[in-house]
Structures are given as structure tokens and as C-alpha cells.
């Protein structure tokens, strides 16, 4: 039998773990466990020096198994598996103990947190002893790509891929391309024409021989796996089958409905406009009120539908800069008009944005602040004695005084939020959503455009609110990832999948009905279930429901799981005995 030689590495994660867990003590005690050849702690195990440490120790100490105690496996399991590969060790001879999300971030008692960290590491060591080498599998990649959404992100990604002479299917649920950018007059911070940017891209897309555009069409279901997806769409009522290897979701966001904020009177007071309405005014070339007068006073209110728990708690990012853009556009068209910028916090990050704020602040504009969480401004119709159409009443935050601001026109800077069909699309392509209904990326820093479903990418504002440059950057990043897989011609697929023991299978088909990935079918001839290992994601649902125990999940076998539990309980029992001895 092979000698077990286990290396254990405890990560400080800067202070994320070390503040609540005595990592040095943990590392020292873990060294005493059976089969542990080496145990070390390091500031950042995921860093290049941290990975190099593992590689070096594997080679110098002939390690054949590795345990890393750090953050969630969702964040860095692949990182450490690659380190094992670099050292010549099978990547599946690795186990990760989560002592950040499961310990340091959820506990306040350092002594107890340290004990729990030791227990979890002991459990990981017990499990890794039963790990088996698994061999990688690959599938061929269909070079076509499906892009859902024809805004600036979808268009940019489509052109990148199509210009590489690869087929693109661009599906847009409306009757036109361009998304929200098509409704914008100028872009911030340099006040360039949005029309010139988007019109050229739309024309190029429509005339490109490698791009097929489907208007007024929605994607309801997608079947298959990375490299080999398919869907049936109904453009103009005609069913069309599409086959493709990768998917880019670029569905964007929609403007917040300002009528939900009763204080602002949108839809009731005619001269209260949203930022979307005001873009149309700017594109018309004439800034006038509903009754055709030139406004003497214009007020701009920020954070409408954003940064407020009653609506959306997040920041929509682009609103502050768009408001400053409006100030400059109004000043250019109506230099004598008074402008009141009513904001909570001015968020001017990004290239050229702070400079735009600085320039705008010197243009005789009155900046006033309000509390975006409580006491939102109240807009009401002015009386006949007043010299304006509207009055805005609110408590000015800096002065602490209740003030009234006159206005002939009010512009509400509405935030962005998810489309109504966001959940349907998520289910169709197999991606997750956060509480704000934004699509979740695989890793927020290290893999910001991929998702946990291989071959599916999310770009632009559907992933979270962002400006045009960031949206285009994400689109091109996803396109580059896809083109790389197409060039190779094949892609690795998950190997920690389920496998059926045909001798034990009773043919009840329970596994077929519970599989969330439709990866299991029933062989009528053999009367047994069959797993499509490319579709399977190794979730274990089938294995837990199989009444005969015929289904085994690779890398999560009963023996491995039970050993992990036993390791956890044994560590706790050992500590209890030690405490009893000390007390006596």
C-alpha cells in the first residue's frame, strides 16, 4: 500500500484569518497528526510565492497529498490544483479546508475559532487520505458563439469574435440593437457623441457576414455542455435550431421606475423628468419645459432608486457622472439657467471623472446634499405666487437646515436594476444570481467574466452596474476567452462526476428525475441509468437519492465523506479527553 505523505498549509489571508485564528499554533499542532509530513503557515498561500512553496515541498519531501486551509474552495481550489500539477502530482490529490468563511469571518472568540480551524483541517486530512487520481477529459468545441443581448457589451463581443472569422448568433429581444447607449446623447467624462460610437458598431454588425442577428427573439432553453450547446429560437415565429460552443450573456439592466418613489411625483408632475427622459430632450436639441418655456432653474436629484433599502441598496455607478455631464450640457445650452445638483455622495471614480467633477464645480453650480437613506427630498407644485413651477423641500445635510429649492424642471437620476426576465435567462443558461438579481461571476477578482457553468460568460451591466468602458472591457475579455478555447479546439470538462454501478442499479429512475443538469438518462435496453459525464457537474444529488447506492460520485465517495466526518469527530473527542485529563 502506498505510504501517505501529506503536506498541510495554513493561510493567514493577510489578517482575514490570522486576526481570529492562531494560525501558527494550528500549523504546529497539525504537524503531530498521523501521515502529516510537513505543516506550514504563510501570509498568502494563493500568491505566487505561496504556490511555489507547495511545489517545492512536494518535490523535496515526496508529498503525495496536499491540504490547504484558507478561504472557500470556490475561490482558489483551481489555483492550488494547478500548483500540484506543476509539481507533477495529480491535481485531485488535494483537499481544501475553509477556515475563513467557515471560521474567522463568523466567530468572535479566537480560542474557539482556533479549535474549530484545527477540527476542519483534521477532517480534510482524514478525507484526502482516500483521494484517488482522476484523469482529465476533453471535448471538442463548436466554434460558433451565442450572444444574448444586443447592447454595447453584446455588440462589442460579437465583433471581436466575428472579426476572428468565427460564427456569432446575436439574439436581441427588442427590435433594435444598441441597448441603453442608443438612447444617450453624449458620454462622460469627455462628452463624446454616443451616436457616433454606437451607430458605427451597429452598422458593422448588421453587415458582417459572420454575425446572424435575431430581433424580437428570446432564448427560453439551452441544452448541452461547454463546447456543444444548442437552443431553439423562434424569430418571426419560425423555429430555428442553433448549435454553438460558448454563450455570452449581455442582457444589461433597465432604468429604475421613478414612480415607485412617491416623494418625487414622477408621472404626476409634468416637469419632473427621469435621466432617460432628459436624454431625449438633449437629443432633440432644445431644453424647454412641458409648456414650451426655457427653464430658469433646473434641479438634478441623485440616487433615485439606488442606495436605499426601500428600493435598491447598491450604487448604480454611472448616475453621478451622468449628472455632471448634464450640468455641462445645460450650461452650454442655457448659460443663464440656475442649476442645483442635489446629491448624497459624489462618486467620481474612473479615468477623467474626478477632473470632470472639478471642472463642473467651478461653473457656478449650487451643490446641495441630502440623506439618501432617510428624509428624501419632497417635490411639490409651486403656488401661483412663486416664480417657478416646482419646489423641492429637504433637509440639507451639511447645514442641517430645512430648505426649499426652486425649479422649473427636475431631473431624476434613476439607477439601474435587473430586467423582469433575468431569472428566466439565468435558468436557461445555468448561471446563478445574487440578491440584487445580477448574474454571479466565477470569481470577483480572478475570473470576473466566467461563471460556474463552463462555457457561459456574463458581461456588461447584467453582471453589475458599470459604465461603457468597463462593459466593453468585459465583453472583449469574454471574447478573448472564447477565441482561446476555439483555437485549441477542445476544452477540459469536470471529472468529479457521478458514475453508475450497473450491477446495483434497480432501474427506478429516481436519479433521472432529480438531476438538475439533465445529465442522466435511462437505457431501456439494459434497464439501467446512464450518466452523461460531460453534462454532469458532480453535485451529488443523484447519489444521495439512489435507494440502492448504485451511484457513486467521484472525489466525494462514501468512504471519503465518512472519513471526513470521522476525522472531524475524532479531533473533537481528542480535545475533550485532553481537557478531562488536565482537569483531573
CA distance 12 to 2: 32
Q: Write out the three cell numbers for 307.
A: 442606495
Question: Within this chain, do residues 16 and 106 fall inside the same structural domain, yes or no?
Answer: yes
Note whether 17 and 48 are within 8 A (CB).
no
Note whether 237 and 244 are within 8 A (CB).
no
Instruction: Calculate mean pLDDT across residues 203-226.
Output: 96
Q: Write out the three cell numbers for 220.
A: 427560453
Question: Within this chain, do residues 100 and 159 fall inside the same structural domain, yes or no?
Answer: no
pLDDT tens-digit readout, 540-554? 999 999 999 999 999
CATH at 533: 3.30.70.20
Q: Where are the alpha helices (DSSP H) in 421-550?
A: 422-429, 468-488, 510-514, 541-545
CA distance 472 to 460: 7
Q: What is the pLDDT of residue 279?
A: 98
Note whether 471 and 153 are within 8 A (CB).
yes
pLDDT above 90 covers a percentage of the chain that reads 89
Count the domains in the chain.
4
CA distance 329 to 323: 10
Residue 393's DSSP bridge partners are: 378, 404
Is 139 domain-assigned? no
3-state SS string for 231-259 = EEECHHHCCEEEEECEEEECCCCEECCHH
pLDDT tens-digit readout, 82-110? 999 999 999 999 999 999 999 999 999 99
Task: Find cell 438633449 and name the residue.
Answer: 282
State how far the alpha carbon of 21 is from the alpha carbons of 54, 223, 389, 542, in Å. Answer: 21, 45, 62, 37
pLDDT tier at 581, thresholds 50, 70, 90: very low
CATH at 107: 3.40.50
Is 140 domain-assigned? no
Question: Within this chain, do residues 429 and 403 fall inside the same structural domain, yes or no?
Answer: no
Q: Write out the three cell numbers for 85.
A: 500539477
CB < 8 Å & 24+ apart, contacts of 310-315 = 311/256, 311/260, 311/261, 311/415, 312/256, 312/415, 312/417, 312/436, 313/436, 314/436, 314/464, 314/465, 315/347, 315/415, 315/465
Residue 520's DSSP bridge partners are: 531
3-state SS string for 524-555 = CCCCEEEECCCCCCCCCHHHHHCCCCCEEECC
Question: Within this chain, do residues 102 and 82 fall inside the same structural domain, yes or no?
Answer: yes
pLDDT, mean over the chain? 94
Please give the model's pTM, rounded to 2 decimal places. 0.81
Question: Within this chain, do residues 203 and 77 fall inside the same structural domain, yes or no?
Answer: no
3-state SS string for 318-363 = CHHHHHHHHHHHHHHHCCCCEEEEEECCCCCCCCCHHHHHHHHHCC
pLDDT tier at 373, thresholds 50, 70, 90: confident
Instruction: Report whether pLDDT(456) > 50.
Output: yes
Is the preceding omega at residue 189 within 30 degrees of 0, hence cis?
yes
Question: Within this chain, do residues 405 and 268 fall inside the same structural domain, yes or no?
Answer: yes
Is 1 domain-assigned? no
What is the sign of the dihedral through the CA atoms of 406, 411, 413 and 417?
A: positive
Q: What is the pLDDT of residue 493?
A: 84
Q: What is the pLDDT of residue 499?
A: 94
Instruction: Calculate mean pLDDT across residues 174-182.
Output: 97
Q: What is the pLDDT of residue 74?
A: 83
What is the sign of the dihedral through the CA atoms of 529, 530, 535 and 541?
A: positive
Name which residue leads in pLDDT, 211 or 575.
211
Note whether 369 and 376 are within 8 A (CB).
no
CATH at 483: 3.50.50.60
Question: Within this chain, do residues 441 and 304 fall inside the same structural domain, yes or no?
Answer: no
CA distance 11 to 72: 12
Instruction: Report whether pLDDT(582) > 50.
Output: no
Instruction: Calculate mean pLDDT across residues 136-148.
Output: 95
Tell which residue, 290, 361, 286, 347, has the closest CA to residue 318.
347
Strands of the sheet containing 65-70, edge to edge, are 36-42, 6-11, 65-70, 94-98
Instruction: Report whether pLDDT(566) > 90.
Output: yes
Instruction: Report whether pLDDT(459) > 90.
Output: yes
Question: Within this chain, do residues 187 and 248 fall inside the same structural domain, yes or no?
Answer: yes
Strand 551-553 with 498-500, pairing: antiparallel
CA distance 47 to 517: 34
Is 196 domain-assigned? yes
Strand 36-42 with 6-11, pairing: parallel
Question: Within this chain, do residues 197 and 89 fall inside the same structural domain, yes or no?
Answer: no
Please give the radius of gyration of the chain, using alpha carbons only, rounded to the nearest integer: 29
Instruction: Report whether pLDDT(517) > 90.
Output: no
Note whether 218 and 429 are within 8 A (CB).
no
CA distance 140 to 345: 50
Instruction: Calculate mean pLDDT across residues 455-470.
Output: 97
Strand 228-233 with 223-225, pairing: antiparallel
Q: Write out the three cell numbers for 273.
A: 423628468
pLDDT tier at 483, thresholds 50, 70, 90: very high
Instruction: Calculate mean pLDDT across residues 367-378.
Output: 93
Question: Within this chain, do residues 330 and 448 fall inside the same structural domain, yes or no?
Answer: no
CA distance 89 to 55: 9
Task: Find cell 444570481 and name the residue.
Answer: 433
| Residue where a domain terminates, one of 413, 447, 480 | 413
Is 460 domain-assigned? yes
CA distance 306 to 314: 6
Q: Write out the three cell numbers for 95.
A: 483537499
pLDDT tier at 384, thresholds 50, 70, 90: confident
pLDDT tier at 53, thresholds 50, 70, 90: very high
Helix (H, G, I), strand (E, B) or coil at 68: strand
Q: What is the pLDDT of residue 578?
A: 44
pLDDT tens-digit readout, 283-339? 999 999 999 999 999 999 999 999 999 999 999 999 999 999 999 999 999 999 999
Note down the domain range covering 505: 498-553
Residue 523's DSSP bridge partners are: 528
Residue 65's DSSP bridge partners are: 6
Question: Within this chain, do residues 269 and 397 fall inside the same structural domain, yes or no?
Answer: yes
Is 52 domain-assigned? yes
Instruction: Calculate mean pLDDT across residues 392-406.
Output: 95
Question: Within this chain, do residues 41 and 161 fall inside the same structural domain, yes or no?
Answer: no
Q: What is the pLDDT of residue 492?
A: 86
Instruction: Calculate mean pLDDT across residues 116-137.
Output: 95
Q: What is the pLDDT of residue 535?
A: 81
CA distance 381 to 401: 21
Amino acid at each position: 500500500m502506498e505510504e501517505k505523505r501529506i503536506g498541510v498549509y495554513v493561510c493567514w489571508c493577510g489578517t482575514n484569518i490570522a486576526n481570529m485564528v492562531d494560525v501558527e499554533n494550528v500549523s504546529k499542532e497539525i504537524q503531530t497528526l498521523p501521515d502529516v509530513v510537513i505543516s506550514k503557515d504563510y501570509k498568502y498561500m494563493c500568491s505566487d510565492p505561496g504556490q511555489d512553496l507547495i511545489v517545492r515541498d512536494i518535490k523535496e519531501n515526496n508529498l503525495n497529498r496536499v491540504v490547504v486551509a484558507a478561504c472557500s474552495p470556490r475561490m482558489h481550489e483551481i489555483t492550488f490544483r494547478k500548483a500540484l500539477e506543476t509539481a507533477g502530482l495529480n491535481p485531485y490529490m488535494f483537499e481544501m479546508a475553509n477556515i475563513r468563511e467557515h471560521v474567522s469571518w463568523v466567530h468572535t472568540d479566537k480560542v474557539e475559532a482556533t479549535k474549530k480551524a484545527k477540527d476542519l483541517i483534521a477532517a480534510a486530512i482524514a478525507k484526502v487520505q482516500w483521494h484517488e487520481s482522476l484523469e482529465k477529459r476533453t471535448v471538442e468545441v463548436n466554434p460558433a458563439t451565442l450572444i444574448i443581448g444586443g447592447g454595447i457589451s453584446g455588440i462589442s463581443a460579437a465583433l471581436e469574435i466575428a472579426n476572428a472569422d468565427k460564427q456569432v448568433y446575436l439574439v436581441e429581444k427588442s427590435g433594435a440593437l444598441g441597448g441603453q447607449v442608443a438612447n444617450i446623447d453624449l458620454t462622460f467624462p469627455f462628452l463624446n457623441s454616443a451616436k457616433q460610437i454606437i451607430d458605427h458598431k451597429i452598422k458593422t454588425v448588421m453587415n458582417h457576414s459572420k454575425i446572424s442577428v435575431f430581433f424580437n427573439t428570446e432564448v427560453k432553453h439551452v441544452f448541452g455542455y461547454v463546447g456543444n450547446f444548442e437552443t431553439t429560437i423562434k424569430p418571426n415565429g419560425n423555429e430555428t435550431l442553433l448549435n454553438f460552443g460558448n454563450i455570452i450573456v449581455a442582457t444589461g439592466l433597465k432604468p429604475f421606475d421613478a414612480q415607485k418613489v412617491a416623494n418625487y411625483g414622477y408621472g404626476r408632475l409634468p416637469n419632473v423628468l427621469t435621466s432617460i427622459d432628459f436624454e431625449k430632450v438633449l437629443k432633440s436639441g432644445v431644453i424647454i419645459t412641458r409648456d414650451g418655456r426655457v427653464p430658469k432653474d433646473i434641479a438634478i436629484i441623485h440616487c433615485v432608486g439606488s442606495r436605499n433599502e426601500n428600493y435598491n441598496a447598491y450604487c448604480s455607478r454611472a448616475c453621478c457622472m451622468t449628472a455632471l455631464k448634464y450640468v455641462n450640457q445645460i450650461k452650454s445650452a442655457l448659460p443663464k439657467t440656475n442649476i442645483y445638483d442635489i446629491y448624497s455622495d459624489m462618486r467620481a471614480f474612473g479615468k477623467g471623472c474626478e477632473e470632470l467633477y472639478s471642472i463642473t464645480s467651478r461653473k457656478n453650480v449650487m451643490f446641495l446634499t441630502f440623506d439618501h437613506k432617510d428624509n428624501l427630498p419632497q417635490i411639490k407644485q409651486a403656488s401661483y405666487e412663486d416664480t417657478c413651477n416646482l419646489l423641492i423641500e429637504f433637509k440639507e445635510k451639511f447645514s442641517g437646515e430645512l430648505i426649499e429649492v426652486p425649479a422649473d424642471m427636475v431631473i431624476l437620476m434613476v439607477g439601474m436594476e435587473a430586467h423582469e426576465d433575468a431569472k428566466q435567462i439565468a435558468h436557461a443558461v445555468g448561471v446563478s444570481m445574487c440578491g440584487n438579481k445580477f448574474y454571479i461571476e466565477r470569481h470577483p477578482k480572478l475570473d470576473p467574466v466566467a461563471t460556474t457553468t463552463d462555457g457561459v460568460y456574463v458581461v456588461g451591466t447584467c453582471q453589475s452596474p458599470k459604465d461603457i468602458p468597463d462593459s466593453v472591457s468585459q465583453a472583449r475579455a469574454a471574447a478573448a476567452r472564447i477565441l482561446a478555447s476555439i483555437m485549441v479546439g477542445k476544452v477540459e470538462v469536470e471529472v468529479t462526476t457521478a458514475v453508475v454501478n450497473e450491477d446495483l442499479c434497480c432501474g427506478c429512475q429516481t436519479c433521472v428525475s432529480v438531476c438538475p443538469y439533465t445529465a442522466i438518462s435511462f437505457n431501456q435496453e439494459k434497464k439501467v441509468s446512464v450518466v452523461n459525464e460531460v453534462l454532469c457537474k458532480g453535485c451529488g444529488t443523484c447519489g444521495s437519492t439512489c435507494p440502492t447506492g448504485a451511484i457513486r460520485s467521484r472525489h466525494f465517495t462514501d468512504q471519503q465523506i465518512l472519513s471526513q466526518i470521522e476525522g472531524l469527530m475524532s479531533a473533537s473527542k481528542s480535545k475533550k479527553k485532553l481537557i478531562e485529563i488536565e482537569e483531573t
